[in-house]
Amino acid sequence: MFVYPMSLKRCNSGKRLNERGCKLIMNEIKDISNTSGPDLGSLAADLFVSEMILDPRMGGRRIRRLLEYHLINRLRDLYTLSIRQIPQENRHMLSSEEWANIGSCFKDARKKAQAESQAVTCRSLGICSVNQDDNSYPVNLRVLEGMPLVLYWKGELSILGSEKMPAVAVVGSRQPTVYGVCVTREITQELAAHGICIISGLARGIDTIAHETTLNSGGRTVAVLAGGLDQVYPPENRDLFEKIAGTGLVLSEMPIGQKAIRQYFPARNRILSGLSDVVAIMEAGEFSGTLDCQFCSRAGQGCICCSRNNLCTAIARQFKAHPGWRRSSSFCRRRSGKICRSCFLS
Protein backbone atom coordinates (compact mmCIF):
# COMPACT_ATOMS: atom_id res chain seq x y z
CA MET A 1 0.00 0.00 0.00
CA PHE A 2 1.40 3.38 -0.98
CA VAL A 3 1.61 6.20 1.54
CA TYR A 4 0.91 9.62 0.06
CA PRO A 5 2.26 12.87 1.53
CA MET A 6 -0.42 15.08 3.06
CA SER A 7 0.22 17.63 0.31
CA LEU A 8 -0.86 15.07 -2.30
CA LYS A 9 -4.36 14.57 -0.98
CA ARG A 10 -7.14 15.70 -3.27
CA CYS A 11 -8.80 19.08 -2.85
CA ASN A 12 -12.26 19.15 -1.33
CA SER A 13 -13.68 19.28 -4.84
CA GLY A 14 -12.13 15.87 -5.55
CA LYS A 15 -11.44 16.86 -9.16
CA ARG A 16 -7.78 17.83 -9.14
CA LEU A 17 -4.61 17.52 -7.13
CA ASN A 18 -3.41 20.17 -4.73
CA GLU A 19 -1.09 22.24 -6.95
CA ARG A 20 1.08 23.12 -3.97
CA GLY A 21 1.73 19.40 -3.40
CA CYS A 22 2.90 18.91 -7.00
CA LYS A 23 5.19 21.94 -6.73
CA LEU A 24 6.75 20.56 -3.56
CA ILE A 25 7.62 17.31 -5.33
CA MET A 26 9.05 19.07 -8.38
CA ASN A 27 11.14 21.34 -6.16
CA GLU A 28 12.49 18.28 -4.34
CA ILE A 29 13.40 16.69 -7.67
CA LYS A 30 15.18 19.87 -8.81
CA ASP A 31 17.13 20.09 -5.54
CA ILE A 32 18.78 16.71 -6.06
CA SER A 33 18.96 16.66 -9.86
CA ASN A 34 22.64 17.57 -9.79
CA THR A 35 23.64 14.69 -7.51
CA SER A 36 24.78 11.28 -8.73
CA GLY A 37 22.19 8.59 -9.26
CA PRO A 38 19.56 7.44 -11.73
CA ASP A 39 17.84 9.94 -14.00
CA LEU A 40 14.69 10.99 -12.18
CA GLY A 41 12.74 11.79 -15.33
CA SER A 42 13.24 8.32 -16.80
CA LEU A 43 12.66 6.70 -13.42
CA ALA A 44 9.37 8.55 -12.90
CA ALA A 45 8.27 7.62 -16.44
CA ASP A 46 9.03 3.94 -15.85
CA LEU A 47 7.20 4.00 -12.52
CA PHE A 48 4.19 5.53 -14.27
CA VAL A 49 4.33 2.76 -16.91
CA SER A 50 4.35 0.17 -14.11
CA GLU A 51 1.31 1.80 -12.57
CA MET A 52 -0.44 1.61 -15.93
CA ILE A 53 0.43 -2.09 -16.21
CA LEU A 54 -1.18 -2.71 -12.83
CA ASP A 55 -4.19 -0.51 -13.69
CA PRO A 56 -7.10 -2.62 -15.04
CA ARG A 57 -8.07 0.26 -17.35
CA MET A 58 -4.79 -0.17 -19.24
CA GLY A 59 -2.70 -3.28 -18.47
CA GLY A 60 0.37 -4.61 -20.23
CA ARG A 61 -1.61 -6.01 -23.17
CA ARG A 62 -3.07 -2.63 -24.13
CA ILE A 63 0.32 -0.96 -23.78
CA ARG A 64 1.81 -3.48 -26.18
CA ARG A 65 -1.02 -2.81 -28.63
CA LEU A 66 -0.30 0.92 -28.47
CA LEU A 67 3.30 0.17 -29.41
CA GLU A 68 2.30 -2.33 -32.09
CA TYR A 69 -0.07 0.14 -33.79
CA HIS A 70 2.54 2.94 -33.50
CA LEU A 71 0.23 5.06 -31.39
CA ILE A 72 3.24 5.60 -29.15
CA ASN A 73 6.87 5.15 -30.17
CA ARG A 74 8.40 4.48 -26.76
CA LEU A 75 7.08 3.30 -23.42
CA ARG A 76 7.94 6.57 -21.72
CA ASP A 77 5.58 8.37 -24.12
CA LEU A 78 2.81 7.21 -21.81
CA TYR A 79 4.22 9.62 -19.24
CA THR A 80 5.37 12.50 -21.43
CA LEU A 81 2.59 12.73 -24.04
CA SER A 82 -0.98 13.91 -23.68
CA ILE A 83 -3.89 12.08 -25.28
CA ARG A 84 -4.12 14.84 -27.93
CA GLN A 85 -0.55 14.14 -29.08
CA ILE A 86 -1.29 10.55 -30.09
CA PRO A 87 -1.52 10.13 -33.90
CA GLN A 88 -5.04 9.99 -35.28
CA GLU A 89 -4.51 7.62 -38.22
CA ASN A 90 -4.42 4.33 -36.31
CA ARG A 91 -6.94 5.08 -33.59
CA HIS A 92 -9.54 3.01 -35.38
CA MET A 93 -7.57 -0.11 -34.35
CA LEU A 94 -8.99 0.27 -30.85
CA SER A 95 -12.62 0.40 -29.76
CA SER A 96 -14.22 3.54 -28.35
CA GLU A 97 -14.44 1.89 -24.93
CA GLU A 98 -10.72 1.12 -24.99
CA TRP A 99 -9.97 4.72 -25.96
CA ALA A 100 -12.08 5.98 -23.08
CA ASN A 101 -10.06 3.85 -20.64
CA ILE A 102 -6.74 4.80 -22.21
CA GLY A 103 -7.65 8.48 -22.21
CA SER A 104 -8.51 8.42 -18.52
CA CYS A 105 -5.09 6.88 -17.81
CA PHE A 106 -3.25 9.55 -19.78
CA LYS A 107 -5.09 12.24 -17.81
CA ASP A 108 -4.46 10.63 -14.41
CA ALA A 109 -2.44 13.43 -12.75
CA ARG A 110 -2.52 11.67 -9.40
CA LYS A 111 -0.62 8.65 -10.71
CA LYS A 112 1.92 10.90 -12.40
CA ALA A 113 2.50 12.81 -9.17
CA GLN A 114 2.76 9.50 -7.33
CA ALA A 115 5.36 8.29 -9.84
CA GLU A 116 7.39 11.47 -9.31
CA SER A 117 7.28 10.99 -5.54
CA GLN A 118 8.31 7.34 -5.85
CA ALA A 119 11.20 8.30 -8.16
CA VAL A 120 12.67 10.39 -5.35
CA THR A 121 12.30 7.44 -2.96
CA CYS A 122 13.91 5.04 -5.45
CA ARG A 123 16.84 7.36 -5.91
CA SER A 124 17.41 7.56 -2.16
CA LEU A 125 17.41 3.74 -2.02
CA GLY A 126 19.78 3.37 -4.98
CA ILE A 127 17.11 1.70 -7.13
CA CYS A 128 17.27 2.24 -10.91
CA SER A 129 14.96 1.26 -13.76
CA VAL A 130 15.33 -0.05 -17.30
CA ASN A 131 12.68 -0.73 -19.94
CA GLN A 132 12.56 -2.58 -23.24
CA ASP A 133 13.51 0.54 -25.19
CA ASP A 134 16.86 0.89 -23.39
CA ASN A 135 20.07 -0.64 -24.71
CA SER A 136 20.90 -1.90 -21.22
CA TYR A 137 17.77 -4.08 -21.04
CA PRO A 138 18.88 -7.72 -20.41
CA VAL A 139 19.76 -9.41 -23.71
CA ASN A 140 18.15 -12.75 -22.85
CA LEU A 141 14.79 -11.14 -22.11
CA ARG A 142 14.74 -8.88 -25.16
CA VAL A 143 14.28 -11.78 -27.61
CA LEU A 144 11.43 -13.42 -25.67
CA GLU A 145 7.71 -12.70 -25.74
CA GLY A 146 5.79 -11.77 -22.62
CA MET A 147 8.80 -10.44 -20.73
CA PRO A 148 8.53 -7.40 -18.41
CA LEU A 149 8.18 -4.01 -20.03
CA VAL A 150 10.01 -2.43 -17.09
CA LEU A 151 12.56 -3.80 -14.61
CA TYR A 152 13.82 -2.23 -11.39
CA TRP A 153 17.34 -3.09 -10.27
CA LYS A 154 20.04 -2.43 -7.74
CA GLY A 155 23.66 -3.50 -8.19
CA GLU A 156 25.48 -4.19 -11.48
CA LEU A 157 23.14 -4.55 -14.44
CA SER A 158 26.14 -5.19 -16.69
CA ILE A 159 26.11 -8.80 -15.43
CA LEU A 160 23.15 -9.33 -17.79
CA GLY A 161 24.46 -7.11 -20.59
CA SER A 162 25.70 -7.91 -24.09
CA GLU A 163 28.74 -9.73 -22.70
CA LYS A 164 26.84 -11.52 -19.95
CA MET A 165 28.27 -14.39 -17.97
CA PRO A 166 26.89 -17.93 -18.50
CA ALA A 167 23.98 -18.22 -16.07
CA VAL A 168 22.20 -21.07 -14.29
CA ALA A 169 18.93 -20.61 -12.41
CA VAL A 170 19.10 -22.65 -9.20
CA VAL A 171 15.66 -23.30 -7.74
CA GLY A 172 14.02 -25.72 -5.35
CA SER A 173 12.03 -26.35 -2.22
CA ARG A 174 11.64 -23.83 0.61
CA GLN A 175 11.94 -26.77 3.02
CA PRO A 176 14.81 -28.84 1.61
CA THR A 177 16.04 -32.11 3.09
CA VAL A 178 19.66 -32.64 4.13
CA TYR A 179 20.21 -34.17 0.70
CA GLY A 180 18.87 -31.06 -1.03
CA VAL A 181 21.06 -28.76 1.06
CA CYS A 182 24.21 -30.79 0.32
CA VAL A 183 23.48 -31.04 -3.41
CA THR A 184 22.81 -27.31 -3.69
CA ARG A 185 25.98 -26.33 -1.84
CA GLU A 186 28.21 -28.73 -3.74
CA ILE A 187 26.95 -27.91 -7.23
CA THR A 188 26.57 -24.16 -6.68
CA GLN A 189 30.11 -23.92 -5.33
CA GLU A 190 31.53 -25.66 -8.38
CA LEU A 191 29.45 -23.58 -10.79
CA ALA A 192 30.66 -20.36 -9.14
CA ALA A 193 34.26 -21.60 -9.34
CA HIS A 194 33.85 -22.00 -13.13
CA GLY A 195 32.67 -18.39 -13.53
CA ILE A 196 28.98 -19.19 -13.93
CA CYS A 197 26.46 -16.67 -12.60
CA ILE A 198 23.86 -18.13 -10.21
CA ILE A 199 20.32 -16.79 -10.53
CA SER A 200 17.68 -17.50 -7.90
CA GLY A 201 14.68 -15.98 -6.16
CA LEU A 202 15.93 -15.05 -2.64
CA ALA A 203 13.27 -17.32 -1.14
CA ARG A 204 13.79 -19.52 1.90
CA GLY A 205 15.47 -22.89 1.46
CA ILE A 206 17.27 -23.75 -1.77
CA ASP A 207 17.29 -20.14 -3.06
CA THR A 208 18.95 -18.79 0.08
CA ILE A 209 21.54 -21.59 0.12
CA ALA A 210 22.39 -20.97 -3.54
CA HIS A 211 22.91 -17.23 -3.01
CA GLU A 212 24.96 -17.67 0.18
CA THR A 213 27.17 -20.40 -1.28
CA THR A 214 27.87 -18.30 -4.38
CA LEU A 215 28.83 -15.26 -2.31
CA ASN A 216 31.05 -17.34 -0.03
CA SER A 217 32.76 -18.78 -3.11
CA GLY A 218 33.46 -15.33 -4.54
CA GLY A 219 31.02 -15.79 -7.43
CA ARG A 220 28.36 -13.52 -8.93
CA THR A 221 24.70 -14.01 -8.17
CA VAL A 222 21.43 -12.41 -9.26
CA ALA A 223 18.28 -12.35 -7.11
CA VAL A 224 14.89 -11.90 -8.79
CA LEU A 225 12.18 -10.73 -6.38
CA ALA A 226 8.42 -11.16 -6.68
CA GLY A 227 7.67 -7.81 -5.01
CA GLY A 228 9.18 -4.34 -5.02
CA LEU A 229 12.85 -3.93 -4.14
CA ASP A 230 11.91 -2.08 -0.95
CA GLN A 231 9.77 -5.05 0.17
CA VAL A 232 12.35 -7.79 0.73
CA TYR A 233 10.73 -11.19 1.18
CA PRO A 234 11.36 -13.11 3.33
CA PRO A 235 12.33 -10.29 5.73
CA GLU A 236 15.10 -12.34 7.35
CA ASN A 237 16.98 -12.16 4.04
CA ARG A 238 17.43 -8.38 4.19
CA ASP A 239 21.16 -8.67 4.94
CA LEU A 240 21.57 -11.20 2.12
CA PHE A 241 19.71 -8.81 -0.19
CA GLU A 242 22.20 -6.03 0.57
CA LYS A 243 25.20 -8.34 0.08
CA ILE A 244 23.91 -9.43 -3.33
CA ALA A 245 23.24 -5.81 -4.34
CA GLY A 246 26.80 -4.95 -3.33
CA THR A 247 28.54 -7.51 -5.52
CA GLY A 248 25.87 -8.78 -7.94
CA LEU A 249 22.37 -7.74 -8.89
CA VAL A 250 18.83 -7.72 -7.48
CA LEU A 251 15.89 -6.96 -9.74
CA SER A 252 12.11 -7.07 -9.98
CA GLU A 253 9.40 -6.05 -12.41
CA MET A 254 7.31 -4.68 -9.54
CA PRO A 255 7.59 -1.02 -8.49
CA ILE A 256 8.43 -0.08 -4.92
CA GLY A 257 5.61 -0.51 -2.45
CA GLN A 258 4.32 -3.73 -4.02
CA LYS A 259 4.47 -6.63 -1.58
CA ALA A 260 5.24 -10.15 -2.76
CA ILE A 261 1.88 -11.89 -3.01
CA ARG A 262 1.20 -15.40 -4.22
CA GLN A 263 0.05 -14.36 -7.69
CA TYR A 264 3.37 -12.61 -8.42
CA PHE A 265 5.60 -15.67 -8.00
CA PRO A 266 4.75 -17.39 -11.33
CA ALA A 267 5.55 -14.09 -13.06
CA ARG A 268 8.84 -13.95 -11.15
CA ASN A 269 9.60 -17.51 -12.31
CA ARG A 270 9.41 -16.59 -15.99
CA ILE A 271 12.07 -13.92 -15.42
CA LEU A 272 14.30 -16.47 -13.68
CA SER A 273 13.93 -18.76 -16.64
CA GLY A 274 14.41 -16.05 -19.24
CA LEU A 275 17.63 -14.73 -17.70
CA SER A 276 19.28 -18.14 -17.40
CA ASP A 277 20.83 -20.49 -19.93
CA VAL A 278 19.88 -23.58 -17.88
CA VAL A 279 17.37 -24.15 -15.08
CA ALA A 280 18.63 -26.47 -12.32
CA ILE A 281 15.96 -27.93 -10.03
CA MET A 282 17.72 -29.11 -6.87
CA GLU A 283 14.81 -30.58 -4.94
CA ALA A 284 11.05 -30.14 -5.16
CA GLY A 285 7.86 -31.63 -3.83
CA GLU A 286 5.21 -33.09 -6.11
CA PHE A 287 3.08 -29.91 -6.03
CA SER A 288 5.91 -27.41 -5.67
CA GLY A 289 5.77 -24.15 -7.61
CA THR A 290 9.28 -25.04 -8.78
CA LEU A 291 7.68 -27.47 -11.24
CA ASP A 292 5.99 -24.59 -13.03
CA CYS A 293 6.21 -25.34 -16.76
CA GLN A 294 7.12 -21.72 -17.41
CA PHE A 295 10.64 -22.55 -16.27
CA CYS A 296 11.26 -24.46 -19.50
CA SER A 297 8.55 -23.54 -21.97
CA ARG A 298 9.01 -19.78 -21.70
CA ALA A 299 12.69 -19.73 -22.47
CA GLY A 300 13.07 -23.04 -24.27
CA GLN A 301 16.31 -23.93 -22.54
CA GLY A 302 17.30 -27.20 -20.87
CA CYS A 303 16.06 -28.26 -17.46
CA ILE A 304 18.38 -30.23 -15.18
CA CYS A 305 16.97 -32.05 -12.17
CA CYS A 306 19.37 -32.93 -9.37
CA SER A 307 17.01 -34.88 -7.20
CA ARG A 308 16.03 -38.40 -6.27
CA ASN A 309 14.91 -40.67 -9.08
CA ASN A 310 11.23 -40.64 -8.25
CA LEU A 311 11.12 -36.84 -8.36
CA CYS A 312 13.13 -36.77 -11.59
CA THR A 313 10.54 -39.07 -13.15
CA ALA A 314 7.64 -36.91 -11.94
CA ILE A 315 9.23 -33.71 -13.21
CA ALA A 316 10.11 -35.28 -16.55
CA ARG A 317 6.54 -36.51 -16.97
CA GLN A 318 5.12 -33.05 -16.27
CA PHE A 319 7.47 -31.22 -18.64
CA LYS A 320 7.10 -33.79 -21.44
CA ALA A 321 3.35 -33.31 -21.35
CA HIS A 322 3.82 -29.61 -22.14
CA PRO A 323 4.25 -28.47 -25.76
CA GLY A 324 7.29 -26.40 -24.77
CA TRP A 325 9.24 -29.50 -23.74
CA ARG A 326 12.61 -29.92 -25.45
CA ARG A 327 13.82 -33.48 -25.92
CA SER A 328 17.42 -32.35 -25.51
CA SER A 329 16.87 -31.48 -21.85
CA SER A 330 19.28 -33.31 -19.54
CA PHE A 331 18.49 -34.99 -16.27
CA CYS A 332 20.92 -35.73 -13.49
CA ARG A 333 20.15 -38.60 -11.17
CA ARG A 334 21.73 -39.66 -7.96
CA ARG A 335 23.70 -42.83 -8.64
CA SER A 336 25.83 -44.73 -6.17
CA GLY A 337 25.93 -41.73 -3.86
CA LYS A 338 27.55 -39.53 -6.53
CA ILE A 339 26.15 -36.45 -8.19
CA CYS A 340 26.61 -36.01 -11.94
CA ARG A 341 27.75 -32.47 -12.73
CA SER A 342 29.06 -32.91 -16.27
CA CYS A 343 25.95 -31.46 -17.88
CA PHE A 344 26.39 -28.21 -15.97
CA LEU A 345 29.92 -27.59 -17.17
CA SER A 346 29.80 -28.99 -20.70
Residue 223's closest CA among 204, 205, 207, 246? 207
User: Does 326 score more than 70 pLDDT?
Assistant: no
Q: What is the pLDDT of residue 147?
A: 87
User: Does 198 score more than 60 pLDDT?
Assistant: yes
Q: What is the pLDDT of residue 194?
A: 87
Per-residue pLDDT, averaged over 209-227, amounts to 95
Q: What is the pLDDT of residue 190?
A: 87
Per-residue pLDDT, averaged over 292-300, amounts to 46
User: Does 328 score more than 80 pLDDT?
Assistant: no
8-29 per-position pLDDT tens digit: 333 333 434 344 444 444 454 3
Q: Higher model confidence: residue 307 or residue 121?
A: 121
User: Does 134 score more than 60 pLDDT?
Assistant: yes
Q: How many Cβ atoms are within 10 Å of 131's Cβ, its own excluded?
A: 19
Q: What is the pLDDT of residue 340?
A: 35
End-to-end CA distance of the chain: 46
Contact 106, 83 (CB under 8 A): yes
Per-residue pLDDT, averaged over 254-278, amounts to 88
Domain 140-345 has CATH 3.40.800.20: no
Query: What are the helix (H) ranges across the chain?
Result: 19-31, 40-54, 59-68, 77-80, 96-106, 109-125, 139-142, 178-193, 206-216, 238-247, 264-275, 294-297, 309-320, 342-345
- Give domain limits for the chain: 6-126, 140-345
Q: Indicate the length of the chain as a whole number.
A: 346
Q: Higher model confidence: residue 185 or residue 299?
A: 185
User: Does 288 score more than 90 pLDDT?
Assistant: no
What average pLDDT does the structure give for the chain?
75
Q: What is the pLDDT of residue 240?
A: 96
Q: Which is it for the CA torsion 176, 182, 183, 184, positive or negative?
A: positive
Cα Rg of the chain (Å, integer): 22
User: Which of 33-37, 129-133, 181-185, 241-245 has the lowest average pLDDT?
Assistant: 33-37
Contact 164, 156 (CB under 8 A): no
241-264 per-position pLDDT tens digit: 999 999 999 999 999 999 998 888
Q: What is the pLDDT of residue 301?
A: 56
Q: Higher model confidence: residue 223 or residue 89?
A: 223
User: Which of 69-78, 97-106, 152-161, 184-193 has the lowest average pLDDT?
Assistant: 97-106
Q: What is the pLDDT of residue 176?
A: 86
Per-residue pLDDT, averaged over 25-50, amounts to 67
Q: What is the pLDDT of residue 299?
A: 43
Element (H, E) at 339: strand 338-339
Helix, coil or strand: residue 335? strand
159-184 per-position pLDDT tens digit: 887 667 888 888 888 888 888 888 88
User: Does 276 score more than 60 pLDDT?
Assistant: yes
Per-residue pLDDT, averaged over 293-313, amounts to 49
Our measurement of the distance from residue 237's CA atom to the centroid of its chain's CA atoms, rounded to an integer in Å, reads: 18
Q: Where residue 223 falls among pLDDT bands split at 50, 70, 90? A: very high
